[in-house]
Structure 1
């Protein structure tokens, strides 16, 4: 009787060790690969129909409009209208260039800071001439645009490796 229990115990031990060593089919083996797949799914949701630049592991850059992305391929539409499949395993970095929204935020920041600078000068000095207010507004707009450029008008880079 104890021999049969020992054999049963060894059988369960063998089956348990085999199941822990070999993954179930369809399960990702590499945790970094599953993290990569999560990033790619988010890319497909958030950046669809945006112009992206894919940097290959060799350093080659591929630019196009992101049509779709799944766990195997990026689908890009080139300028000529052709759809290109790029394997995800070959991509190291995905870059989204700033668009019209980022440019408008940069310009708006410059205008707001310029307006505040002009308002500050006109309210704090009672004898401010129109020329000094204009120069202050121009300098404020330049500083605000510079701040907006470095705050909003930047490329978004996602490393997949």
Structure 2
């Protein structure tokens, strides 16, 4: 069980910012899927033998849903794991994912966050108090500027009365 820091809760990103993150990431996913479809069409036309490329482009709802889940899970995992808790949407809105104890989320937490997005209606769960993928993984999306200001203010208060050595 992680220690729940008030400073993390106090600096959570607003619902409007979370919605902007979702829309930006959704646009990025549509673009990625468009290019994957384009590549698969080209490869299928060149080889006309591949089972995968045929199903990727034959408008099968189940196949499109499965591929969408795989691409989205990889997108969120790779971005949040290798971009310090940030996706394209979070980069643009200056937000990021933190553990509730204020530390960088572990790879396991980010992997779980990515898999939690498969749950139906998870995408709009952030309209409540916390999104399901935040609550289930003990993470929060925070406003970086406000969080850093709060951390600096706390450090300054903690340093009052500490003798400076030149």
Higher relative contact order (CA 8 A, sep 6+): 2
**Scaled by the length of structure 1, what TM-score is found?**
0.31
**Scaled by the length of structure 2, what TM-score is found?**
0.31
Structure of higher CA gyration radius: 1
